[in-house]
Chain A
Amino acid sequence: EVQLVESGGGLVKPGGSLRLSCAASGFTFSSYSMNWVRQAPGKGLEWVSSISSSSSYIYYADSVKGRFTISRDNAKNSLYLQMNSLRAEDTAVYYCARGRTTVVVPANWFDPWGQGTLVTVSS
């Protein structure tokens, strides 16, 4: 069974940092691109970042560019999101999701999704 399990969320003060992790199992992790998508409380879905299978290609939403860093460790079947300079508007449930193929294409989709981890940015 394909499974994605996020961890690392929590309460952090504005300007602080947090590192999210996503543990993958049930599929060949190194053969797929991976993504982070977030959902603010009571709001819709927002794409955050994507990374190709070999980490050669990385993409960020403008809202997080320069503050967040996506990375992966194929040997550990893990995806990461380093979040710096956090703002109140970054408060959301962060989901990791598998991409469509090895590279990140415009026709990219997100399937499956993890259960999400809540990040709360508040003083």
Chain B
Amino acid sequence: QSVLTQPPSVSGAPGQRVTISCTGSSSNIGAGYDVHWYQQLPGTAPKFLIYGNSNRPSGVPDRFSGSKSGTSASLAITGLQAEDEADYYCQSYDSSLSAWVFGGGTKLTVL
């Protein structure tokens, strides 16, 4: 049971827009701690995707965007491409646990 809750899976057709939610609580996202996102392609290490809730590191396409509101955050991917098929993880800090925490991960399938 992850501290941050993500849907196990989402899917979309090429060109479509999908969103992945990340729901936390008052001790992590709701406490104002930043949310970061990672993409893990099959059989590879995670890759840094979004930092500070909504910022993209250099090299990340602007098709990827992040937002945060209250105790939740979201990752949006527009113009879906086959190469976006991967697992996506949100990450934040939890003050009750004094630990950096991840969501359980969401598997994105491009139909």
Contacts and interface: CB of A to CB of B under 8 A. Distances in A.
Interface in A59-108: 59, 61-62, 95, 106-108
A113 B41 CA distance: 13
B24 interface: no
Interface string B31-52: 0011010100000111110011
Contacts, number: 59
B104 A44 contact: yes
Interface string A46-60: 110010000000010
B26 to A, nearest CB: 15
Interface size class of A (residues with CB under 8 A): 20 to 34
Contacts of A113: 45-48
**Main SS class of interface, A:** loop
A100 B58 CA distance: 15
A109 interface: yes
A71 B30 CA distance: 32
A44 B48 contact: no
B46 A59 contact: no
27 contacts: A44-B102, A44-B103, A44-B104, A45-B38, A45-B89, A45-B91, A45-B102, A47-B99, A47-B100, A47-B101, A59-B99, A61-B99, A62-B97, A62-B99, A95-B46, A106-B34, A106-B95, A107-B33, A107-B34, A107-B52, A109-B36, A110-B38, A110-B48, A111-B51, A113-B46, A113-B48, A114-B45
